[in-house]
Each structure stands twice: as C-alpha cells, then as structure tokens.
C-alpha cells in the first residue's frame, strides 16, 4: 500500500510527464513548420517517450493500490524564436523533471517506501540521460551556429540523435523482454 503523500507526489509526476509529452509535440509541430524535419522527428519520438514515462507511473500506482489521476494539461507554447530556444526549453524542462524525481526519492527515504524507491531508480538514470542529451544537442547547436545555412546542419545532426535514441529504446525493450 502506498501512502497518500506518495500517491499525490506520483500524480504530480504524471502531470509533469504528460506536459512534457505535449510540450515536445508542440515543439515538433513548430520544427516541422520551419522545415526542420529531423528536429521534428526527434521531438515526436521524445513526445512518445514522455508519454511512456507517464504510463509507467500510472501502472505502478495501480500495482500498489494507488489511484492514478489523468492530468489536465495546460496548452504549451505554439511558437518559438529559434531551434536553439527550443532545445534550451527542453533542457530546462528536463532539469525540472529531474528535480521532481529527486524530490520523490527524498519522500521514499522519509517514508521508508523501498518499493517506490526501487521503481524510481529507472527514472533517476533516465533523467541523467535526458539532461545529458539535451545539453549535448545545445552544445552542437552552439558549435554549428544558428544562421540560415547552419539550420540545415543542425537538422541533419538531429537525425543522428534520433537514431541514437531509437537504438537505446530498442536495446532497453530487448532487455525488458
């Protein structure tokens, strides 16, 4: 049985993951409109991944006799100044999610909730990877620059990030099978 406090905190995390999914989907749409197909595909993939993160918590709450709440999601922004701004916002949101996961881990220790602590270890590792990926993308964007011709090269780099993310996802699914 899960505590009310932990259930509430996990439902908050569900909201963050759901918002991230919608946020990245809005970013993908903007990138698509701007002709950045590689970035759009990458962000579509990230959106799906964030929804999967949300669903893991949904299912976990059911397993521990909790109640998962379908979150109300605010409308994310629809336009962005640049591809650099998009990934700065991705990086900031991932840091916010990491902070929330760390808060959940703290609650686990406070409440001696070792089942949830064990469950959250996957998220701790995932967030390290997500932050590193966003930071690496920003580094690439800064290295390439953001002029009109640079956007072509940034978009091509996004295809590489997408392929790496898909390969990591496939490897994880093979491990879990």
Dump pLDDT digits (tens) for 110-134: 999 999 999 999 999 999 999 999 9
Q: Pull the structure tokens for residue 75.
A: 């409308």
46 has a pLDDT exceeding 80: yes
The CATH superfamily assigned to 4-176 is Ferritin, core subunit, four-helix bundle (1.20.1260.10)
Is the pLDDT score of 67 beyond 70? yes
Q: What is the mean pLDDT of residues 166-174?
A: 81
Q: Which pLDDT does position 32 carry in this prediction?
A: 96
pLDDT band (50, 70, 90) for residue 54: very high
For the chain, domain boundaries = 4-176
Confidence check: pLDDT of 175 > 90: no
| pLDDT at position 155 over 90 | no
Q: How many CB atoms lie within 10 A of CB 167?
A: 10
Per-residue pLDDT, averaged over 87-91, amounts to: 97
Nearest 10 degrees: Cα torsion 113, 118, 119, 124: 110
Return the pLDDT at 177: 66
Which pLDDT band, with edges at 50, 70 and 90, does 98 fall under?
very high
Q: Which long-range contacts (CB under 8 A, 24 or more apart) does 25-28 make?
A: 25/76, 26/76, 26/77, 26/78, 27/76, 27/80, 27/86, 27/89, 27/90
Using a 10 angstrom Cβ sphere, with 0-12 exposed, 13-18 middle and 19 or more buried, the burial of residue 16 is buried
Q: What is the mean pLDDT of residues 2-19?
A: 97
Eight-class DSSP state of 67: -
Q: What is the mean pLDDT of the chain?
A: 93
Quote the percentage of the chain above a pLDDT of 90: 81
Q: Token digits for 128?
A: 């390290």
Structure tokens at 49: 């991944």
Confidence grade of residue 152 (pLDDT, cut at 50, 70, 90): confident
> How is residue 127 written in tokens?
């967030």
In this prediction, residues 88-102 reach a mean pLDDT of 97
Q: 110: Cβ–Cβ under 8 A, 6 or more apart, which residues?
A: none
pLDDT recorded at residue 40: 96
CA nearest to 98, candidates 55, 53, 59:
53
Sign of CA pseudo-dihedral 171, 128, 136, 42: positive
């Amino acid at each position: 049985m899960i505590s009310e406090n932990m259930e509430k905190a996990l439902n908050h995390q569900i909201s963050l993951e759901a918002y991230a999914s919608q946020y990245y989907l809005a970013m993908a749409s903007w990138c698509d409109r701007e002709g950045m197909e590689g970035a759009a595909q990458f962000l579509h993939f990230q959106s799906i991944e964030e929804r999967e993160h949300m669903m893991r918590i949904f299912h976990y709450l059911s397993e521990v006799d909790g109640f998962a709440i379908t979150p109300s999601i605010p409308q994310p922004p629809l336009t962005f100044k640049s591809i650099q701004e998009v990934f700065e916002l991705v990086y900031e949101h991932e840091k916010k999610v990491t902070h929330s996961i760390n808060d959940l881990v703290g609650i686990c220790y406070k409440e001696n909730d070792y089942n949830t602590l064990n469950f959250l270890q996957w998220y701790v590792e995932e967030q390290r990877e997500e932050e590193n990926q966003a930071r690496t993308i920003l580094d690439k964007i800064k290295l390439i620059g953001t002029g009109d011709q640079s956007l072509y090269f940034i978009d091509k780099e996004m295809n590489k990030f997408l392929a790496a993310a898909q390969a990591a996802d496939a490897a994880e699914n093979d491990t879990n099978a």
